[in-house]
Structure 1
Amino acid sequence: MLRLLATLALLTCLAAPVSAGKIAIVIDDIGNHKNDLKAALLPGNVSFAVLPYTPYARAFALRAHHQQKQVLLHMPMEAIENDRPGPGVVTADMSNAQIKLQLVNALDSIPYVTGVNNHMGSKLTQLPMPMQAVMETLAARKLFFIDSRTSEFSVAEQIAGQFGVRTSRRHVFLDNEVDQNYLQQQFDQLLRLAKRDGQAIGIGHPYPETLSFLKQHLPELQKQGIELVFVSELTQATNQNGYLLPVTSAK
């Protein structure tokens, strides 16, 4: 009997698929257009970053939750060259109290938020004091932070680690261009990073071309041994040696 059980256990292990890595995909800029609602129908564990105070923000969050997806707040933050990040933006000239209030109000405007990533923010994410206010707020709510890495000089992950906020970063932008060749190139790069480093995070947008591409290719991941997970699963509490993956060109 023991030999039979051991044989069955061995066969079970051999039959189990070997994971070649994990990827998370975050769809940013959700909420401005009614067509964004269709993004919630993407297959698998896709995460969505919703802009606060946009016409379809709340409706999308409700639909995404119903579809068992993950919802993030896509928090507008001050950029270096763009002065229109959107309503609710956090800027460098705000006090810590103002930043915290702005962030709390944005969080409260969208149901089922589990974490935050930055919308723009190439200026704000470089500044320790404003990011401390952001991370203090997220720590109090036990939310994670994904650094979209719109600046190579971002201190967001470092500050998150100081406050015990689980964090990670974007490794690939999937759709700076939306022709099929470019989408395939970026998607392949995401998979290569996941296979090399065990995990990788890609960010896309609710463009029709992007959604169509992902609808076609996400169901094929399992055949390649790639697991699609919610972005929260790829966050860590601290920045450890060797944790950070290489970053591709910023958006």
Structure 2
Amino acid sequence: MVAADRIAIIIDDIGNHPEDLAAADLPGDITFAILPFTPYGRSFALKAHHQGKQIMAHVPMQALAGNALGLGALTADMSSAEIKLKLRQVLDDIPYVAGINNHMGSQLTQLTQPMQAVMESLKNHDLYFIDSRTTEYTVAEKMAQSYQVPVARRHVFIDNETDEQYLTEQFDELIQIAHAHGSAIAIGHPYPETIKFLKQRLKSLKEDDVQLVFASELTVKSELSIASGLFKTGQ
């Protein structure tokens, strides 16, 4: 019998280190978010895809703190055309992409025009969006719904700290949210401690009474059409 409550686990920041390749060996339907134009991103995507995993592009977006963004970044000073071109380049770099989520982005995801351009691109490429929710003021979900792009949000970061007690507490919170709402999404990173923890904890999902699914399976696509006033931005 399939558990009614579902969780998705996204491992972010894949691609900069050869050690990241080991994360592809995690059991089950894990989703991996790969940074574009990184030394090991493409080879990881190929390996993970052939092991039955789901691939996302982890797209750098401008942060309020002015963090270094890396290659493939989307910034507030870009035109809609520039954003769409950059996203196409990102998607050309990473094979087997099914969706994207934001890397940083506490500034960009608050801005309507850039997020409109992002969602237009995703709509055209039949991709989904996961809002990492690096700011409470994000408009990304709203824009995705307006463009009928399948969308969901991150509920828990599991490894802001990497000691076992913290990891356990965060994973327990993920399970609790799933039981309360029917589903929940966690984001982690390819830290050795995280990978070791997940290899053990994922064995007990049956006891937790949850099913591990790909992030795409927890997205929702709005049936509402784009509001007529959405484009009246004066820009």
TM-score of the superposed pair, with normalisation by structure 2: 0.93
SS at match of 2:57: strand
Aligned to 2:229: none
SS of residue in 2 equivalent to 1:59: helix
Which of 100, 106, 113 is residue 129 of structure 1 equivalent to?
113
Q: Distance in 2 between matches of 1:125 and 1:212?
A: 32
Match of 2:7?
Answer: 23
Paired position in structure 1 for 2:178: 194
> 1:58-69 maps to which residues of 2 (within 5 A)?
58-69=42-53
Matched to 1:93, the amino acid is D
**How many residues align structurally?**
224
Q: Which residue of 1 aligns with 2:210?
A: 226
Which residue is 2:95 aligned to? 111
Shift of 1:82: 3.1
Q: In structure 2, what is the equivalent of residue 248 of structure 1? A: none
Task: Report the alpha carbon displacement of residue 85 of structure 1 after superposing the two structures with TM.
Answer: 1.7
Asked if the contact 1:27/1:47 (under 8 Å) is kept, the reply is yes
- Quick one: which amino acid aligns to residue 227 of structure 1? Q
Matched, 1:175 2:159: yes
- Report how far residue 219 of structure 1 moved: 1.6
- 1:223 is displaced (CA, Å) by 2.3
Mapped contact 1:24–1:201 kept (Cα < 8 A): yes
Q: Residue 73 in 1 paired to residue 57 in 2?
A: yes
Match of 1:36 in 2: 20
Tell me: CA distance 1:202–1:139, structure 2 relative to 1, closer, same or farther (3 Å). Answer: same
**Take 1:58 and 1:201, find their aligned partners in 2: how far apart are those partners?**
24
Deviations 1:89-148 (A, max 9, x none): 100000000000011100110000000000000000000000000000000000000000
Which residue matches 1:165?
A: 149
The sequence identity of aligned pairs, in percent, is 58
**8 Å contact 1:158–1:239 — kept in the other structure?**
no
Greater gyration radius: 1
Q: Describe the superposition over 1:184-234 as per-residue Cα deviations: whole angstroms up to 9, x where unpaired.
A: 000000000001100000000000000000000112101222100000000
Q: Secondary structure at the match of 2:6?
A: strand
Q: Partners of 2:87 and 2:127 in 1: how far apart?
A: 12
Partners of 1:97 and 1:173 lie apart in 2 by: 32
Equivalent residue of 1:72, what SS?
A: strand
Q: What is the aligned partner in structure 2 of residue 214 from structure 1?
A: 198
* AA at the equivalent of 1:154: T
Match of residue 127 from structure 2? 143
Corresponding residue number in structure 1 for 2:227:
none
Cα separation, 2, equivalents of 1:44 and 1:239: 31
Q: Which residue of 1 aligns with 2:232?
A: none
Deviation at 1:159, TM superposition (A): 0.2
CA distance in 1, matches of 2:153, 2:22: 26
Check conservation: 2:175, 2:208, Cα contact below 8 A: no
Partner of 1:184: 168
Considering only aligned residues, what root-mean-square deviation do their CA atoms show, in Å?
1.2
Quote the offset at 1:42 in angstroms: 0.1
Q: Which runs of 5+ in 1 are unaligned?
A: 1-15, 241-251
